[in-house]
Structure 1
Amino acid sequence: MPRETKYRRTTAADAEIDLPDELTDPPAPSNRVLDEQRTFDEQLRPTRLSQVIGQRKVKERLQIVLDATRMRQTPLGHLLLDGPPGLGKTTLATVIPRELDTEIQFTSGPALKAPKDLVPYLTNAISGSVLFIDEIHRLPPAVEEYLYSAMEDFRVDIVLGEGTNARTLSIDLKPFTVIGATTRSGMLTAPLRDRFVHQERLTYYDTAELTEIVQINAKKLSSDISDDAAREIAIRCRGTPRRANNLLRWARDYAEVHGGGTITDDIANRALEMREIDKHGLDEQDRRYLTTLIDVFTGGPAGLSTLSHSLSIPADTLEDEVEPFLLRTGLIRRTPRGRTVTPAGWEHVGRAKPDNDGDRSLFG
């Protein structure tokens, strides 16, 4: 008969001695471009919850949770942040540990390919610390199931060796908090979603909030910017702070080369025109989508794959990057037969609006 697997219960501190190096050392990030973008983002990110602009209701609820956590002196309950890209999920995740005066570890769903990739983060977590998992909906099923016991019971089991020489370590973890960020909450399994005590959804920002963000971040970049220029950038960033920061950085570069360093309304307009971003935030690819749908398909309906071939752009790029903003602003419509241009979309590209139902754009 085969021998039973040896079973031993230990703690995370013991595991750091017993486990191989690859199970105790988190992998270091190696993408230079992503590191540069992260450095820029961190330069502009607020450090306290009171400094976060926008998301007022989310901030109020989080403040209550943080105050209660400090009063009880217990770890924060697991938190899920949901919303489109660029709205501040990572910003909130970095602010929370500072509010609680604790540590944070960063990883992402695609980086955790197997349970062993998750172990170093769990065993290195101190009591009350935060583990931030970006794009958590992309966790492989095996890693997700392995995370269940860590989140619920603060315990993980590790099998060392193979066959008759295998032994199992049941590792007790220090109580910690998982903060998950996702752009597609519908892809999360119900068991994982239910393990988050707190769930918050972030929404798009209005122009006033984005103008304030641009003005504050311009000061952090040591750039002078007029109120009109800040508002112009805010109008064209599609309600997204990350896009506002990227446009601000471009306007700063343009101003240093062509405007003496000061971002005026004229400089901002010239910089954004050079980037081919119009008054409503549409770029060249968005406008080409609209004109192709109008010129080639007389306004639609046209299927996604047909549009993809006509534009020589992958279908998933159209669906994930181009169409969401056009749908949100009421310039196109999805129908069972395909995509169609609304009257507002015809008007936006300067074509005669067809006489049919009175669709309206969010632009007014």
Structure 2
Amino acid sequence: MDETRDVAEPQDEIELAVEGALRPLSLAEFVGQHKVRGQLQLLLDAARIRQRPADHILLSGPPGLGKTTLAMIVAHESERPLRLSSGPAIQHAGDMAALLSSLTPGEVLFIDEIHRMARSAEEMLYLAMEDFRIDIMVGKGAGATSIPLELAPFTLVGATTRSGMLPNPLRDRFGFTAHLEYYEPEELEQVVERSAIVLGVGLPRHARAEIARRSRGTPRIANRLLRRVRDYVLVHGQSGRAGGAPGSPAATQADVNAALELYDVDPIGLDRLDRAVLDALVRRFRGGPVGLSTLAVTVGEEAETIESVVEPYLVRIGFMGRTPRGRIATPEAYAHLRVPHGDGSLRIDDL
């Protein structure tokens, strides 16, 4: 068993190194988000000239667009260490105090899903962000006293998928707020091209474009689909074809289509759950309107999953609408499912 573990550990380390290499290390390597990149570059350059930590940064936007990667880039280009944490892990003021008091001068603190922190931790963070100090309460009742604790200057990078849930006092303390947008297919194709080189997968342009087209405007999904294509080619013994490095898999567009079909990803990026929701909405409820909870029960999923994972993409591509009376299917949804657009479908009154 020891020999097996000794062999496996180096392989695991190599795989982790490859996965980490998928993240760009500089703003110049980062694909897309041109406006945000320019704003961040100015912020970091100014901090470097002033020889002070950069202002606090809030990154908002849907999951998978590169918020964590940008936080890593901020630390790398500032030549400062990075401390990673998350909102759900900070549920008490003591958790926040321990985290802040352990920071070194200039360190970059990244808090993912910052809107999910406990309120007591948020209130402690207000003072820390503004004055680089916190107040520690010692004792209880009438004898309790507040002891100020000075903190090393730091840069907070907060990431959130729901910026509306952040309290105004916290949002106002960030010196720079950026909203990340979904990627265009051409940008995703660049992401896939770079990742294919890192993973050692030979991928012609048409195959890259196919993966990009099915990635829902999200680099994380593009990289995930690319890994599944790599696995498909490796398993089916397609290594060594033209376009790949020696001993590496080389995929064709046919391989991409076969792999993504195997994983239930259709030509516009809908997966099994997406199609189940659309199918229920169109066939069972005749296009709606139907309530979210009823729709969730019908497809056997949690309502929160439908609302946060499925709906945003279906609404964005125009397949679903939200009305005060419930969810409705659009004519485009009927056309995609190849279902006749009957009388029970979308009505103007429901819009």
Task: Give the TM interval when normalised to the shorter protein.
Answer: 0.7 to 0.9
1:59 to 37, 41, 58: 37
Partner residue, 1:310: 298
Q: Does 1:148 align with 2:136?
A: no
Query: 1:164-220 CA deviation, whole Å, 9 max, x = no partner?
Result: 986653211111111100000000000000000100000000011101111101111
Native 8 Å contact 2:264 2:271 kept in 1: yes
Query: 1:61-115 CA deviation, whole Å, 9 max, x = no partner?
Result: 1111111111111110111000000000000000011111111101000000111
Q: Secondary structure of the residue that 1:119 maps to in structure 2?
A: helix
Amino acid at match of 2:269: G
Distance across 2 between alignment mates of 1:281 and 1:95: 29
Distance across 1 between alignment mates of 2:143 and 2:123: 25
Q: Secondary structure of the residue that 1:224 maps to in structure 2?
A: coil
Distance across 1 between alignment mates of 2:140 and 2:169: 30
Q: Does 1:285 align with 2:267?
A: no
1:197 to 155, 175, 187: 175
Aligned residues: 325
Native 8 Å contact 2:288 2:346 kept in 1: no
Partner residue, 1:176: 154
Give the Å deviation of 1:262: 1.1
Distance across 2 between alignment mates of 1:39 and 1:69: 30
Native 8 Å contact 1:54 1:209 kept in 2: yes
Q: Secondary structure of the residue that 1:169 maps to in structure 2?
A: strand
Give the Å deviation of 1:120: 2.8
Native 8 Å contact 2:134 2:148 kept in 1: yes
Query: 1:200-242 CA deviation, whole Å, 9 max, x = no partner?
Result: 0000000111011111011111221111111111100100000
Amino acid at match of 1:77: D
Partner residue, 2:235: 257
Amino acid at match of 2:58: L
After superposition, the Cα gap between the structure-2 partners of 1:280 and 1:178, relative to the gap in structure 1 and judged at 3 Å, is: same
Native 8 Å contact 2:287 2:346 kept in 1: no
Distance across 2 between alignment mates of 1:357 and 1:285: 21
Q: Secondary structure of the residue that 1:50 maps to in structure 2?
A: coil
Q: Secondary structure of the residue that 2:28 maps to in structure 1?
A: helix
Q: Does 1:275 align with 2:263?
A: yes
Give the Å deviation of 1:162: 5.2
Query: 1:33-83 CA deviation, whole Å, 9 max, x = no partner?
Result: xx9998775331001111000000110111111111111111101110000
Work out which structure has the larger RCO, using CA pairs closer than 8 Å and 6 or more positions apart in sequence: 1
Partner residue, 1:18: none
Bigger shift: residues 152-161 or 174-183: 152-161
Distance across 1 between alignment mates of 2:261 and 2:311: 22
CA RMSD of aligned residues (A): 2.3
Q: Does 1:92 align with 2:70?
A: yes
TM-score, structure 2 normalization: 0.88
After superposition, the Cα gap between the structure-2 partners of 1:301 and 1:162, relative to the gap in structure 1 and judged at 3 Å, is: closer
2:86 to 101, 108, 119: 108
Native 8 Å contact 2:334 2:341 kept in 1: yes
Bigger shift: residues 85-94 or 290-299: 290-299
TM-score, structure 1 normalization: 0.84
Query: 1:226-271 CA deviation, whole Å, 9 max, x = no partner?
Result: 1111111110010000011111111111111112221211111100
Give the Å deviation of 1:124: 2.1
2:56 to 71, 74, 78: 78
Give the Å deviation of 1:134: 0.4
2:163 to 171, 181, 185: 185
Q: Which runs of 5+ in 1 are unaligned?
A: 1-34, 360-364
Amino acid at match of 1:323: E
Distance across 1 between alignment mates of 2:174 and 2:193: 35
Bigger shift: residues 186-195 or 119-128: 119-128
Amino acid at match of 2:224: N
Distance across 1 between alignment mates of 2:182 and 2:188: 10
Amino acid at match of 1:173: L
Distance across 2 between alignment mates of 1:52 and 1:265: 26
Native 8 Å contact 1:343 1:358 kept in 2: no
Distance across 2 between alignment mates of 1:317 and 1:234: 24
Native 8 Å contact 1:131 1:176 kept in 2: yes
Amino acid at match of 1:66: L
After superposition, the Cα gap between the structure-2 partners of 1:158 and 1:205, relative to the gap in structure 1 and judged at 3 Å, is: same
Give the Å deviation of 1:308: 1.8
Partner residue, 2:246: none
Partner residue, 1:158: 136
